[in-house]
Amino acid sequence: MIRYVSTGLPTVAAAVLMALPAVAQDSFLGQQEFVERCSVCHGAEGKGDGIVGELFAQKPKNLRVLASENSGVFPFAAVYESIDGQRDVAAHGGDSQMPVWGDYLIAEALERRNIDPKDAQLIVEARILALVQYIQSLQVN
Ligand code: HEC
């Protein structure tokens, strides 16, 4: 356990973190996952214009307008749940073209790395959180 006692370091670290642009702080993992797994349908910038998505009758959502469609508030929990697959949005049902990422990522974590299922769950939560934060950083007014 790290104990923050009597050194000036935590304050310095906090100041450095606050000085970083918000997007740079939360984006790298999320951006990487997004480009790898989501951009084929949602487009590199999340506009819903990915090459594969073009083929679907139901166009993938423009993920940059989620906040503006929700009175300017980014619907963090709802986005998390729709990626994880807990929330049954129309696009995620039996006839969905939007994969259920929670199950897929869990399976991948368990298969590729020899880790405990509980740790796999935590890894998946972190990855989904990173994705949601990245999508949040893409919001336009
Ligand atoms: C195979 C194509 C495809 C891929 C890949 C894909 N999506 Fe989607 N996604 C869709 C479609 C189709 C919709 C439904 C559009 C709608 O509901 O308006 C959708 C909807 C969504 C929504 C909105 C759900 C809601 O609340 O209405 C979110 C958020 C989302 N996708 C995130 C992601 C993320 C993050 C990834 C990558 C991990 C991803 N998608 C990968 C096709 C895809």
28-62 pLDDT, tens digit each: 889 988 998 899 889 999 999 988 877 877 788 89
Instruction: Categorize the per-residue pLDDT at 138 as very low, low, confident or very high, splitting at 50, 70 and 90.
Output: very high
CB under 6 Å to ligand 1: residues? 37-38, 40-42, 52-53, 56, 58, 60-61, 63, 78-79, 82-83, 89, 91, 97-99, 101, 131
Residue among 27, 35, 42, 96 whose CB has most ligand 1 atoms within 8 A, to mutate: 42
**18's tokens:** 């606050």
Tens digits of residue pLDDT in 104-122:
777 777 777 678 888 888 8
**34's tokens:** 């997004």
Task: Write down the residue that tokens 């506009």 correspond to.
Answer: 47
Q: Can you tell me the mean pLDDT for 9-24?
A: 49
pLDDT of residue 62: 94
- Smallest CA-to-CA distance from 66 within 53, 43, 48 is with 48
pLDDT of residue 111: 75
**Cα distance between residue 141 and residue 85, in whole Å:** 27
**116's tokens:** 């405990």
pLDDT of residue 6: 46
- Smallest CA-to-CA distance from 128 within 70, 86, 65 is with 86
Given a contact cutoff of 8 angstroms between Cβ atoms, the answer to whether 107 and 127 are in contact is no
pLDDT of residue 43: 92
Average per-residue pLDDT for the chain = 76
Q: Whose CA is nearest to atom 13 of ligand 1?
A: 60
**Cα distance between residue 104 and residue 34, in whole Å:** 15
Say if residue 89's pLDDT is above 70.
no
Give the position, in ligand 1's atom list, of the atom nearest the Cα of 53. 2
Task: Write down the residue that tokens 């009597």 correspond to.
Answer: 6
Instruction: Categorize the per-residue pLDDT at 97 as very low, low, confident or very high, splitting at 50, 70 and 90.
Output: low
